[in-house]
């Protein structure tokens, strides 16, 4: 068969024009073919003895067989035809196997009974064209796992038979064998997306080298043909299983034709069979999916030997990586800036980091049980997850020395220090601690009060505290005001504050 491929419509035109007086060059210009191609096709047509009327009545496949069949049929009957299914399997099993190598092995095995290389490749290419379109893409054993969501959803009914929500169908398929996995999830959110990946890998019992998704927003934050940006948790999950995620090119469905075909099969062989059933929970729906999925994987191929399961066991499973000892635990990642109090906000709870990182950008990885803080890919803090909104989780080693000294204070120690100065100072300290919803909120005011003894001395502080108690304003601001004005010096001898007698001053009896 000539190297320059001709369509059957042009071949019929050539057969109709062969009896004309046109030259080979003129025929080539009319049909858009080279002179050499026209000559070769004319020889093939004349050798089979077919005329224009007969060619017009024949279907295209029969015309092709009549014209080009003798090119392969001319071999003696003793020739051994190559095993095309075996060739197809070897090309998928090993990355560096080529048709040239397979022909050399075939030729050395059958010697004179073997076809020549050109005929060997032609026989395989013709056989390959008869396969389904999705089989044309070459996949290597254990290399790729294609994942996607089916477009169809399944209603889940609630109380009274009213639809509660619609379940989404996650579908995965291995490249070489097409071995399928399917499950229903409540949504297409990140926890469901990654959870389906984990359960799919547990179903296969091994991990591939590459995971090929579409470009869903839940997993790919920026779709790009050359440098797609993945969601951080998706990368984390893939790293746990020692594989990589390479999304299909945007608007290139053929890049993931394997899973597209599997989605179609799942809809036809699973969802179509469940269309008359009513489901009241995800568990019930997945229980119904499992036996139908087993049947789909065990069904024999129409043109290839074996089934998806048998090809998986022979090709994919031996080439895949073993799963890690523990499954992936879902965790989210968020970028945070360390606040001035050396804490970061994770879901409205605040976790400490080393105080030297104040103002820096860090990544918080948080699961249901732990919170980890990373700075430049290095873990700098680890905490037990807390769900107390507005609370703080602080590690002493993260605090600066001045704050560490402050943290060592307690209500009992503050009261003891105040009482050591004087009874009235101790009374003011107690009042400050009791006046706050939580004693720790009064620590700073107490320390500010007691530090006034450094500037004014303990004697004056005790006198000012006594005056503040008598005035009914036992707080730091009043004590400081008394000290600054020197009123404590004027009332040291007597703290009797009876009101003077005056006609404009009403006594307590006035109000009875």
Whole-number percent of the chain with pLDDT over 70: 84
Q: Look at 12-21, 137-146, 162-171 and tell me which has the smallest mean pLDDT.
A: 12-21
CB of 432 within 8 A of CB of 469? no
Positive or negative torsion for Cα 121, 126, 130, 133 = positive
Q: How far apart are CA 451 and CA 446, in angstroms?
A: 8
Structure confidence at residue 499 as a pLDDT band (50, 70, 90)? very low
Q: Degrees (nearest 5) of the Cα angle 284, 282, 221?
A: 155
> What CA–CA distance (Å, rounded) separates 180 from 172?
6
Q: Is residue 91 within 8 Å of 97, Cβ to Cβ?
A: yes
Distances (CA, A) of 241 to 183, 197, 331: 20, 11, 15
Residue by residue, what is the 3-state secondary structure of 252-306? CHHHHHHHHHHHHHHHHHHHHHHCCCCECCHHHHHHHHHHHHHHHHHCECCCCCC
In 3D space, the residue among 487, 422, 478, 410 whose CA is nearest the CA of residue 453 turns out to be 422
Model pLDDT, residue 504: 47
Residue 512 above 50 pLDDT?
no
DSSP track, 311-343: HIIIIIHHHSBPPPSSPPPP-EEEEEE--TTSE
Confidence bin at 496 (pLDDT 50/70/90): very low
Q: Which SS3 state, helix, strand or coil, does residue 116 take?
A: coil
Residue 96 has pLDDT above 80, yes or no: no
| pLDDT, tens only, 209-224 | 989 888 778 778 776 7
The answer, as to whether pTM is greater than 0.85, is: no
Q: Angle, to 10 degrees, between the axis of helix 117-129 and the axis of helix 60-73?
A: 160
416: part of which helix (H) or strand (E)?
helix 411-421
Closest CA to 214 of 259, 173, 176: 259
User: Is residue 391 very low, low, confident or very high in pLDDT (cuts 50, 70, 90)?
Assistant: confident
Average pLDDT over residues 35-46: 81
Number of other residues whose CB lies within 10 A of the CB of residue 245: 20
Q: Give Cα 398 to chain centroid, integer Å.
A: 32
User: Is the predicted pLDDT of residue 497 greater than 60, yes or no?
Assistant: no
Element (H, E) at 374: strand 370-375
The answer to whether residue 47 scores a pLDDT higher than 60 is yes
* 331 and 374 Cβ atoms separated by less than 8 Å: no
Q: Choose between 287 and 230: higher pLDDT.
A: 287
Alpha-carbon distance of 186 to 440, in angstroms, equals: 45
pLDDT of residue 501: 53
Say whether pLDDT at 373 is over 70: yes
Kindly list the strands in the beta sheet with 163-174, ordered across the sheet, starting from the edge strand earlier in the chain: 180-185, 163-174, 144-157, 210-212, 244-245
Indicate the average pLDDT of the chain: 81
Of 159 and 443, the structure prediction assigns the larger pLDDT to 159
How far, in Å, CA of 397 to CA of 381, rounded? Answer: 10
Helix pair angle (117-129, 84-93), 10° resolution: 90
pLDDT (tens digit, 9 = 90+) per residue, 396-429? Answer: 888 887 666 566 667 788 888 888 888 989 898 8
Mean pLDDT of 113-139: 76
User: Average pLDDT for residues 174-190, to the nearest whole number?
Assistant: 90
Backbone angles phi, psi at 337, to 5 degrees: -105, 130
Q: How confident is the model at residue 302 (pLDDT cuts 50, 70, 90)?
A: confident
Q: Beta-carbon neighbour count of residue 127 at 10 Å? A: 17
* Pick from 163, 342, 176, 448: nearest CA to 456: 448
Q: Phi/psi of residue 76, each to 5°?
A: -60, 155
Per DSSP, helices labelled H in 142-281 are 190-204, 232-240, 257-266
Q: Which residues contact 56 (CB under 8 A, 6 or more apart)?
A: 12, 16
Q: Are 472 and 434 in contact (CB under 8 A)?
A: no
- Which tens digits make up the pLDDT trace of 267-282? 888 888 888 899 999 9
Mean pLDDT of 183-187: 93
pLDDT of residue 178: 87
| SS3 label, residue 504 | coil
The gap between the terminal CA atoms of the chain, to the nearest Å, is 125
| Residues 337-341: contacts with CB under 8 Å, at least 24 apart | 337/361, 337/362, 338/362
- 451 pLDDT band (50/70/90 cuts)? confident
Contacts 24+ apart (CB under 8 A), 35-40: 36/2, 36/4, 37/2, 37/3, 37/4, 37/6, 38/14, 40/2
Tell me what pLDDT residue 434 has: 83
Assign domain 144-319 to a CATH class.
Answer: alpha beta
Give the mean model confidence (pLDDT) for residues 106-114.
86
So what's the pLDDT on residue 509? 54
The pLDDT, as a whole number, for residue 75 is: 46
Pairing of strands 144-157, 378-384: unpaired
> Taking residues 139-145, what's their average pLDDT?
83
């Amino acid at each position: 068969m000539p190297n320059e491929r001709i369509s059957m419509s042009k071949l019929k035109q050539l057969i109709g024009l062969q009896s004309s007086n046109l030259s080979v060059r003129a025929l080539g210009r009319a049909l858009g073919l080279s002179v050499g191609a026209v000559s070769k096709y004319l020889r093939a047509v004349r050798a089979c003895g077919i005329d224009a009327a007969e060619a017009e009545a024949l279907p295209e496949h029969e015309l092709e067989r009549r014209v080009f069949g003798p090119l392969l049929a001319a071999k003696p009957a003793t020739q051994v035809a190559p095993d095309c299914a075996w060739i197809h399997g070897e090309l998928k099993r090993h990355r560096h196997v080529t048709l040239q190598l397979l022909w050399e092995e075939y030729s050395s095995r059958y010697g004179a009974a073997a076809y020549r290389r050109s005929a060997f490749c032609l026989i395989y290419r013709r056989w390959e064209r008869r396969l389904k379109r999705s089989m044309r893409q070459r996949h290597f054993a254990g290399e790729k796992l294609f994942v996607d969501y089916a477009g169809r959803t399944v209603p889940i009914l609630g109380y009274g038979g009213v639809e509660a929500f619609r379940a989404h169908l996650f579908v995965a398929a291995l490249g070489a064998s097409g071995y399928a996995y399917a499950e229903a999830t409540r949504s297409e959110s990140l926890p469901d997306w990654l959870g389906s990946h984990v359960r799919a890998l547990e179903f296969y019992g091994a991990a591939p080298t590459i995971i090929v998704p579409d470009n869903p927003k839940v997993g790919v934050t920026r779709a790009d043909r050359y440098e797609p940006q993945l969601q951080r948790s998706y990368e984390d999950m893939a790293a746990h299983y020692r594989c990589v995620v390479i999304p299909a090119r945007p608007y290139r469905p053929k890049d993931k034709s394997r899973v597209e075909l599997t989605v179609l099969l799942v809809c036809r062989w699973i969802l179509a069979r469940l269309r008359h059933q009513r489901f009241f929970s995800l568990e019930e729906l997945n229980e119904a999916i499992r036996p139908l999925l087993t049947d789909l994987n065990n069904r024999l191929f129409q043109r290839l030997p074996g089934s998806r399961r048998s090809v998986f066991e022979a090709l994919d499973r031996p080439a895949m990586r073993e799963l890690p000892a523990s499954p992936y635990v879902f965790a989210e990642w968020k970028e945070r800036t360390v606040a001035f109090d050396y804490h970061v906000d994770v879901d409205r709870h605040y976790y400490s980091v080393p105080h030297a990182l104040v103002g820096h950008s860090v990544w918080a990885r948080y699961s249901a049980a732990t919170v980890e803080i990373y700075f430049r890919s290095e873990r700098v803090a680890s905490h037990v997850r807390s769900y107390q909104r507005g609370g703080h989780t602080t590690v002493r080693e993260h605090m600066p020395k001045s704050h560490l000294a402050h943290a060592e204070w307690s209500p009992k120690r503050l009261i003891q220090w105040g009482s050591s100065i004087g009874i009235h100072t101790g009374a003011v300290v107690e009042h400050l601690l009791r006046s706050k919803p939580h004693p720790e909120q009064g620590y700073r005011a107490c320390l500010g009060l007691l530090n006034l003894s450094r500037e004014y001395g303990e004697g004056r502080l005790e006198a000012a505290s006594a005056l503040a108690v008598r005035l009914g304003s036992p707080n730091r601001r009043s004590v400081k005001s008394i000290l600054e004005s020197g009123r404590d010096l004027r009332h040291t001898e007597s703290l009797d504050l009876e009101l003077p007698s005056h006609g404009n001053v009403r006594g307590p009896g006035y109000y009875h």
